[in-house]
Amino acid sequence: MNKLPLVVTSRIKQFNKEAAAMNTSEEVINSLSVIVRDILTAAQASAKADQRKTVMARDISLLN
């Protein structure tokens, strides 16, 4: 599986800088990408269970 970041690094860094005047380590980007991958994998399973080939917002759950 491709391990490229699934979040926009510059936007995460910008958000942390503007919202809290903080820097962002590369580990944060990697951790967020792992979380996004997990959420999307679960969403894909939900769509497949409903016999769809489209992942929809209703397939995404942060509280499994």
pLDDT digits (tens, 9 = 90+) for 3-61: 888 999 999 999 999 999 999 999 999 999 999 999 999 999 999 999 999 999 999 98
Does 49 map to a domain?
Answer: yes
Q: Which of 43, 61, 41 is nearest to 52 (CA)?
A: 43
Q: Which of 51, 1, 46 is nearest to 59 (CA)?
A: 46
Does 42 map to a domain?
Answer: yes
Q: What is the DSSP string of 30-64?
A: HHHHHHHHHHHHHHHHHHHHTT-SS--GGG--S--
Does 2 map to a domain?
Answer: no
Does 38 map to a domain?
Answer: yes
Q: Which domain holds residue 34?
A: 9-59
Question: Which positions ≥6 away from 59 have C-beta within 8 Å?
Answer: 42, 43, 44, 46, 47, 50
Does 35 map to a domain?
Answer: yes
Q: Based on the structure, what is the number of domains in the chain?
A: 1
Instruction: Tell me the pTM.
Output: 0.85
